[in-house]
Amino acid sequence: MDRKDKLILAALQDDATQTVSELADRVGLSKSACWRRIQILEEKGIIGARVTLLQQEKLGLDLTVYSAIRTHEHTADWFDGFYKMVSSMPNVMEVHRLSGDIDYLMRSVVPDMRSYDEMYKEMISNIDLYDVSSSFSMEKIKYTTALPLDHL
């Protein structure tokens, strides 16, 4: 990966709606050279998707919830059920399996506390969880989907 690839990735992270022509001008390449590089970055899986980011608050999803989940069951069957459950819940945005005292960290977005309570009740009725400790975001100080590229 060279400097031009990094410039392309940074520009696409900033605005994926740019035309290839606009992007090529921005990074100092011909349109065809820029398009070839984008195709290679996609083939390598470096560019995974081009999406539109929505503003959750404008859609009435005012509450962001971080849930630390612990389980006493560490079997393939339990994990399968947990995976299927969280994958089917549209309000669950991210789930990470962690090292340490907490088994999973989940980020969810919901309209309000009542909606979170309904989601919580759905979770505990579908899978055995030892402990769920949730924290509610009071203010979003920084949020980005752009990955750092300086180390490349």
Structural domains of the chain, ranges and CATH numbers in brackets: 3-43 (1.10.10.10), 56-136 (3.30.70.920)
Residue-wise pLDDT tens for the chain (152 aa)? 999 999 999 999 999 999 999 999 999 999 999 999 999 999 999 999 999 999 999 999 999 999 999 999 999 999 999 999 999 999 999 999 999 999 999 999 999 999 999 999 999 999 999 999 999 999 999 999 999 999 99
Does the model's pTM come out above 0.75?
Answer: yes
Which residue, 129, 139, 146, is CA-closest to 64? 139
